[in-house]
Amino acid sequence: MKGEGPESDIVISSRVRIARNLKDYPYPMLATNQQSREVLEQAQQVLEQEDLKEISRFTLLPLAEMNELQKMVLVEKHLISPNLANESRNGAVILSDNESISIMVNEEDHLRIQCLYPGFQIKEAWDLANQVDDVFETQLEYGFDERRGFLTSCPTNVGTGIRASVMMHLPALVMSQQISRILSAVTQVGLAVRGIYGEGSEALGNLFQISNQITLGQSEEEIIDNLYGVAKQIIEHERAARQKLLQESRIRVLDRVNRSLGILSHAAIMDTKEAAQRLSDVRLGIDLGMIRGISPNVLNELMVMSQPGFLQQIAGEKLSADERDMRRAQLIRERFTSGQHV
């Protein structure tokens, strides 16, 4: 949420996720309670390895010990999937101290190792995920086939088992109506485009998740390099679109940015979708130099903190939809007042 990293005005975050399964154990959806419990115990034992402790200190959090609100917040922070939060038996998440590493246990696969970095650091995220995976592989016997590679619950992950993605803020491409053409080209080179929470989710606030689709027939490095190269081109297109907006539509963009700033600063009620769009407008205004004195970090924080789970965690109670909308507006007003200076 601090938003520190290369190209962070466009790339919000970089993520690499590795799917792994233990040999001789059924996939989580078919495993018995005893089998999934044994998988969890084996994962927990790896946490005692010195090689892993050198990477970070980790904490294992069983989902059975969490309430629905705690699980919702983890989903909103992209540390666990909705699938793990809702359906997993003997599910758990292993978190590093700074939450840049999260390992889901007994989700769709036995292990899903995820590394999340701010800004455009997809190669760094891969290096860290690979280090963590190497430690687990020395202690656990993975399901592996010489021809197919790593075996996974879903056939689309077979091979490397890797999903790499970048979360990109692309307001200028949306405003200039170029986004459909760009995203169509992206899908033609083996990449997928999803919303803020992955498959099946909406692209709120002009945030798009670009990820690899192919996991079989390419090395991990080839997958990362392909995503890196395409993301670099999208960054260049977004920068060009922003400059064109400044040159040809400056007053219209300024008006839109300032209207959103005014609404965010004074609104008494605000739903998730409108908040995301208004925050996107203000973030663009900051990046274009139209708004001064407001840190872009405040916008990054609010993109997460204005989500339903976070609002209820802050309130310390379950809230109705109307109550959440009022709390969201209040939170945004207060954060703009207290956090507006860089």
Residue ranges of the binding site: 13-17, 78, 112, 163-167, 194-199
Instruction: Tell me which H or E stretch contains 240.
Output: helix 220-248
Distance CA 148, CA 334 (A): 53
Report residue 255 as tokens.
Answer: 């008006």
Which residues are annotated binding-site positions for ATP? 13-17, 78, 112, 163-167, 194-199
Q: Pick from 179, 197, 182, 186: which is nearest to 226 by CA?
A: 186
| 97-108 exposure pattern, b = at least 16 Cβ within 10 A, e = fewer | eeebbbbbbbbb
Distance CA 236, CA 122 (A): 17
Q: Which residues pair with 117 in a beta bridge?
A: 14
Distance CA 29, CA 108 (A): 7
Distance CA 135, CA 137 (A): 5
**Cβ distance 262 to 330 under 8 Å?**
no
Provide the sign of the torsion angle of the four alpha carbons 225, 230, 234, 236, taken in this order: positive
